[in-house]
Amino acid sequence: MRLEAEIYQALGECASIPGLINWNPLTYCLTLEYLEHGNLREYVRSNSEALTPSLRHKLAGQAAAGLRVLHNAHIIHCDISPRNFLLDHELNLKISDFAGSSLRGSLASAYANTRYRHPKYKWDDPPHYQDDIFGLGSLIYFIMTKQYPYEEVPSDEVEAKYGSSQFPVSAASHAALLFNSVGTRK
């Protein structure tokens, strides 16, 4: 919790992350703004009819913007997934859950699950920004298709597919749409 609080404090007020209301280092209590639409995974699964192409495009762009904010602050999230993105009352997406993240090169204590983990990820290596970028691509796939990449495939088979550069067909086209809309990274 201490690392998570330090990250929220380092980022300050930012549209891409939940607002920090209070951190009590004695009780390890972190209080964040309430985001009434919950996490992206549950929202997508419960409200698929509300996910218009325009809203999906907005969410994908906001996910990329949030990751850019983290990376510019030398933070590697290390656990990109739909459960770690929250939605506010206007359906704006905010990245959260930094407890396992890497701050300025620190060791991470979390890692992404199979469908969001870079195929060349090595457990003993320090985290890399590319790991988060790969997770972002899988997140965009989820936003656009409402399914995890290879959702019906066992995890070990997903690892084998990723390891041989076999990715879901539509993921590349969705990522291309996103990156054409948000521009190049500075």
Give residue-wise pLDDT tens across range 8-43: 999 999 999 999 999 999 999 999 999 999 999 999
Give CA–CA dist 19/73, Å, rounded.
Answer: 16
Give residue-wise pLDDT tens across range 63-122: 999 999 999 999 999 999 999 999 999 999 999 999 999 999 888 888 888 999 998 888
Helices (H), the chain: 2-11, 40-46, 53-72, 129-145, 155-163, 169-182
Question: What's the predicted TM-score (pTM) here?
Answer: 0.88
Relative to beta strand 85-87, strand 93-95 is: antiparallel
Long-range contacts of 181-184 (CB under 8 A, 24+ apart): 181/57, 181/61, 182/61, 182/64, 182/65
Q: Which CATH class is domain 37-182?
A: mainly alpha
Mean pLDDT of 179-185: 45
Instruction: Yes or no: say if 149 and 80 are a contact pair by the CB < 8 Å rule.
Output: no
Extents of the domains making up the chain: 37-182
